[in-house]
Every structure is written in structure tokens, then in C-alpha cells.
């Protein structure tokens, strides 16, 4: 069984242009399928069997990649930085220049982050409506109180924005240091740190240890691995058609 896709989507996923720009390319008569020029935007192609060309040049879908990385502290998630700080892209093979991070971990945070060239996969994991849980281990200065964590799960306002933890749990606590496990679904900018700041708690280490069902596990700091097909499917909604290709 094969699956057909709209021609403009095919061109976008092949890296020719955005979907909207691809529509104009089709309407301008620059696209041929199996040697026949198609101008209809509703046209569909079978990626496994049809040959698509633009201006006479054959175009193919890019292989989709899904990578899990244990981000070290002191790295940024953006590929380019005016301050010339180290980017996580430097930890990957040089030929993977088209990968982008799924969400962010800030400069001083560490742990599990995904990289991909699949925009639908990224949207699935970052948009609040999908409620994908992310779990963090947070080390704090001094003791933490149960009521402080309860306030975070009820929801707090920080810099005029509502923040909320889905779940918190004390892993270890003494007079000098506390370790707390916290789960979120929205992933607003610096949300974990801001939640603790709202309770006047000082974060000394922040590590993401799980995204959805995928755990950081024993992946060494600074190292990466590709996600397995079952792992990718576990992160996508049932029946999704924009998974690995």
C-alpha cells in the first residue's frame, strides 16, 4: 500500500520551497511529474513511484532524521549566536546541517533534547495543545518546602504570565540542598527556572530527563543517538501520517 501526498507538500518536504511558494512554482508550470507538467494545486504524487522535477531537475524527499542528544551545560540550541557560544549542532555529524532542535534548553540547562528536520514532529512535541510531558530534575540551594511546590502545581504568576507545573516530587532534601522532580506540558520560555524563582528558590542545576515516554537513560553528556521507529511512533498521535519516512 502506498500513500500519495499533495504536490506542494512534496516540494516543501524536498526542500524546494515553502508550501506557499511551492504552489506558485506549480502554477507557473515549472513542475513535471513523470515528464508531464502539472499546474493543478490539488494534484497528488506517490513518493515511492513518481518522478518529480522542477525546471528539469529531479527532486527527492529528504530523509527524515530524529535524534536524541544529552545537551551539556554551556551550549546553546540555536545554530548561530552573535556571542559565538558553542552550539549543540557542533556535537552532531557535519552533514546534518538541516537539523533543528525541538524546543529549547537554555545555556545553563542540560539533558534530553531532540533534533529533527521534520516540522510536523517538532510541532507535535512543542505545541501546548498536545500536552506532551517533559520531566526535569532540579537541584536547589537549601531546603524546599512542600507548600512551595504545591503553589507551583496550583499555578503562579511570574512577570505577568501564568505558569503551572503538572506534578512535583521531592527526591532529596536537607539543610544545604534539595533535589526536586518536576513535570510540565507547556514549555514556556525558561518556565522551570521561573517557577522556582517565583518561590524565591535558587536553581543550581537543571536537567531534563524525559520527553513523553522517552527517557534520557544512560546517554552520556554531549552524546547523541537516533530514535528508533517505535520511539518515534510513541511520540506521535495515533494515526498520524507525518511520521518517519
User: Could you report the per-residue pLDDT of 162-204, keeping only the tens digit for each?
Assistant: 999 999 999 999 999 999 999 999 878 899 999 999 999 999 9
* Same domain flag for 177 and 140: yes
Q: Is residue 244, in this structure, part of any structural domain at all?
A: no
46 assigned to active site: no
Instruction: Look at residue 239 in the predicted model and tell me its pLDDT.
Output: 41
Query: Do 141 and 197 fall into the same domain?
Result: yes
User: Given its phi and psi angles, is residue 132 left (phi above 0), alpha (psi -120 to 50 degrees) or beta?
Assistant: beta
Query: 20 and 47 in one domain?
Result: yes
107 with 160, same domain: the answer is no
Inter-CA distances, 79 with 16, 40, 76, 92, 227, Å: 21, 37, 8, 12, 21
> Catalytic: which of 106, 118, 159, 242?
106
The predicted model scores a pTM of 0.77
Of 214, 241, 240, which is closest to residue 228 (Cα–Cα)?
A: 214
pLDDT < 70: residue spans in the chain:
1-3, 237-245
Same-domain pairing of 192 and 150: yes
Residue 240 in domain: no
Radius of gyration of the chain (CA): 22
Cα–Cα distances in angstroms (integers) from residue 182 to residues 35, 114, 171, 191, in the given order: 56, 19, 10, 11
- Whether 138 maps to a domain, the answer reads yes
pLDDT of residue 48: 81
Nearest to 69 by CA among 231, 243, 219, 233: 219
Note down the domain range covering 140. Answer: 133-211
Do residues 108 and 167 share a domain? no
Specify the CATH number for the domain of residue 104: 3.30.70.580
Task: Please report, for the domain that includes residue 153, its CATH number.
Answer: 3.30.2350.10
Same domain, 152 and 196: yes
**Do 151 and 205 fall into the same domain?**
yes
- DSSP secondary structure code for residue 143 in this structure: -
pLDDT given at position 42 = 85
Please count the structural domains in the chain.
Answer: 3
Conformation bin of residue 222: beta by default, left when phi > 0, alpha when psi is -120 to 50: left
Q: Are residues 141 and 74 part of one domain? A: no
pLDDT, tens only, 20-31: 888 999 999 999
Question: Residue 43's domain is classified under what CATH number?
Answer: 3.10.290.10
Looking at residue 218, what is its pLDDT? 96
- Say if residue 123 is in the same domain as residue 70: yes
Whether residues 225 and 125 fall in one domain: yes
Cα–Cα distance measured from residue 178 to residue 140, given in angstroms and rounded to the nearest whole number:
5
Closest-CA residue to 116 (of 108, 128, 124): 124
Amino acid at each position: 500500500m502506498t500513500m500519495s501526498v499533495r504536490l506542494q507538500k512534496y516540494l516543501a518536504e524536498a526542500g524546494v520551497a515553502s508550501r506557499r511558494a511551492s504552489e506558485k512554482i506549480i502554477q507557473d508550470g515549472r513542475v513535471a511529474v513523470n515528464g508531464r507538467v502539472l499546474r493543478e494545486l490539488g494534484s497528488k504524487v506517490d513518493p515511492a513511484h513518481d518522478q518529480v522535477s522542477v525546471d528539469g531537475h529531479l527532486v527527492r524527499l529528504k530523509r527524515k532524521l530524529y535524534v536524541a542528544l544529552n545537551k551539556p551545560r554551556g551550549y546553546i540550541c540555536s545554530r548561530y549566536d552573535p556571542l559565538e557560544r558553542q552550539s549543540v549542532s557542533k556535537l552532531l555529524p557535519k552533514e546534518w546541517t538541516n537539523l533543528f532542535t525541538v524546543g529549547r534548553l537554555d545555556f545553563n540547562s542540560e539533558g534530553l533534547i531532540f533534533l529533527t528536520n521534520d516540522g510536523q514532529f517538532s510541532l507535535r512535541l512543542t505545541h501546548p495543545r498536545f500536552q506532551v510531558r517533559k520531566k526535569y530534575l532540579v537541584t536547589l540551594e537549601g531546603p524546599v518546602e512542600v507548600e512551595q511546590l504545591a503553589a507551583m502545581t496550583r499555578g503562579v504568576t511570574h512577570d505577568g504570565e501564568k505558569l503551572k507545573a503538572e506534578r512535583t516530587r521531592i527526591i532529596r532534601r536537607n539543610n544545604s540542598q534539595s533535589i526536586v522532580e518536576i513535570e510540565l506540558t507547556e514549555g514556556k520560555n525558561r518556565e522551570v527556572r521561573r517557577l522556582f524563582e517565583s518561590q524565591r528558590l535558587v536553581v543550581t542545576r537543571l536537567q531534563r530527563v524525559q520527553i513523553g515516554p522517552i527517557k534520557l537513560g544512560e546517554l552520556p553528556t554531549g552524546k547523541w543517538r537516533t530514535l528508533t521507529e517505535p520511539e518515534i511512533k510513541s511520540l506521535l498521535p495515533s494515526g498520524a501520517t507525518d511520521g518517519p519516512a
